[in-house]
A = this chain, B = another copy of it.
Amino acid sequence: MSRVGGGGVFVTVGKSTCDERRPSDFPEGAGGAGSRGAMSKRVEVYDTTLRDGTQMEGISFSVGDKIAIARRLDKLGFAFVEGGWPGSNPKDMEFFQSVADAPLQTAKVAAFGATRRPGKQVESDPNIKALLDTRAPVVTIVAKAWPLHVTDVLRTTLEENLAMVRDSVEYLVGQGLEVLFDAEHFFDGYKDDPEYATEVLRAAAAGGAACLVLCETNGGLLPQELPPILQACKKAVKVPLGFHAHNDSGCAVANTLVAVAAGLRHVQGTVNGYGERCGNTDLCAVIPSIELKMGLSCLAEGQLQNLLDASRYVAEMANVVPQDHQPYVGSSAFAHKGGLHADAIVKNPRTYEHVSPQAVGNRRRVLVSELAGRSTVVHRVKEMGYEVAKGDPQTAEILGRVEELEKLGYAFEAADGSFELLVHRVMRGHTPFFDLLGFRTSVEKREDGRLISEATIKVRVGDELEHTAAEGDGPVNALDLALRKALRPFYPSVAEMSLVDFRVRVLDAGSGTAARVRVLIESADHEASWSTVGVSENVIEASWQALVDSVEYKLLRDRTRTTERKADG
């Protein structure tokens, strides 16, 4: 735990919480690693996904979710995991009790709360008491650093606010806790009244806070505003500084990196940037830049490559669809579409990749599209285990078919399943698993408003005919159910798969209801997921094509695996 020594001398006792012993100038180059010993190379990551993250519309975690997420972040090597605000949310107490009984390995658990109330004693403040009851080794105390908030929202005097800060921090430090201080609205406060904002920091320092976290609460700060304010603060107080930002200007990640470049060694944020309004600092974007580009470390040795998994895991727990275009960990973060780009990437990855995708557990994806060239196709076909070269006739045939279909409106970049089927058809003359003799799907709306969706289907498998029907929630759902019902006697494994996503895009705006539509279907079984595509002026026909490809893909994969197992045995 670090403390302020007498006379403003920066004395480190035991483990320093926030090391900021680098020079305070705005550095040139990549931020520089600094050369003042091992300590300055470490940036403490403070996670507030479980508190600030849950301020995002639609996110709420159970106590079990919170514990699971905390353990996952602990494994990565986060320095702090903030569990919640026990004074504001009684459910949070359960979390703290659970982690007190079975502590985390690396991360310190932090409890969040406000200072004592105006005009009251700190000892008898129920919120302060709740913080102690958590048994968390670290508490983070928030207070106002903007006169506007003190007078208009808190409705107390500027002097009393300073006393509240000092008293509360001092009392909790006296109870043996490591106290971090969150200076709320620090930058707006500083811009209105730098002297008072600084006084608030001094009050927390005088109380014994281990770290003074400058909070960019409204998220409006621009990166060019930051360096002079940080320099002034570092001159004014000798306690280490931290940084907490929101993304209302789209600058939370950048501002955090600027703060680290300026020597701050404590950064707060949330996994995937979850948070109110435009979100908090996305730790998944900040951590790789710090580790890979600034010569500093945040995580436990070797854990950076598990960042993508952790990001997806938290998204899963939050029930939020992952953002494809998220820096570093998005599924498109290393996806290359342009033909020239794809060509160059194969020659030398540095040409179009700022870091190696593997460094964060991601992978390169070369997308097949109208803009892609021959080398993209060769690359993908090779990934599937076939031996081909650029000049092979099969390569030309695959490329020709892709181009022809894309002219009709097909898109293979998001339909890996349909693309692979196309390749198999060319490479080994794959014959379909069944023949369609006909289908009919209907939707009827009766006078009472009742809707009936039905599909009938007739297929031939080998010499056998199957003619069946099903009802569904809509015509495509009915068709899907009827098709799999018809195939089940011949291919029982179609019962294992299900359709997990269904997308429709109208291709020619301006043709009204006679426009061509593209349907993308994502299917999954217990082992994998795959996407398939269909295009037609008729939404039912387009859906049918994607459905057929989806089932064919599943059956082909099952057969390939069975053959491989036989060959092994």
Contact = CB atoms under 8 A, between A and B. Distances in A.
B321 A509 contact: yes
Interface residues of A, number: 138
Contacts of A503: 506, 509
A411 interface: yes
A12 to B, nearest CB: 26
B247 A480 contact: no
A149 to B, nearest CB: 6
A440 B442 contact: yes
Nearest to A282: B250
B355 A512 contact: no
A538 B474 contact: yes
Contact of A437 (B251, B436, B447): B447
Contact of A253 (B251, B282, B446, B537): B251
Contacts of A512: 477, 480, 498-502
B338 A276 contact: yes
A224 interface: yes
A27 B26 CA distance: 12
A233 to B, nearest CB: 14
Given A30-B224, A58-B413, 11 more contacts: A28-B225, A29-B225, A153-B347, A222-B254, A222-B257, A276-B337, A438-B444, A453-B540, A472-B513, A474-B538, A499-B512
A475 B538 contact: yes
A224 B446 contact: no
A150 B262 CA distance: 35
B475 A414 contact: no
Contact of A500 (B257, B277, B510): B510
A249 interface: yes
A254 B223 contact: yes
Given A26-B227, A327-B278, A335-B276, A220 B354 contact: yes
A351 interface: yes
B506 A332 contact: no
14 contacts: A30-B224, A31-B224, A64-B508, A222-B257, A248-B328, A250-B253, A250-B254, A250-B282, A250-B327, A254-B254, A278-B326, A278-B333, A443-B475, A499-B512
A173 interface: no
A495 B508 CA distance: 22
B319 A505 contact: yes
B58 A411 contact: yes
A56 interface: yes
Nearest to A352: B218
Contacts of A289: 222, 249-250
A205 interface: no
Contact of A436 (B224, B257, B445, B514): B445
Nearest to A29: B225
A3 to B, nearest CB: 30
Which residue among A153, A276, A446, A502 has the maximum number of chain B CB atoms within 10 Å of its CB? A502
A212 interface: no
Contact of A62 (B227, B282, B474, B509): B509
Interface string A492-536: 000000111111111111111111010001000000000000001
A411 B60 contact: yes
A156 interface: no
A26 B29 contact: no
A219 interface: yes
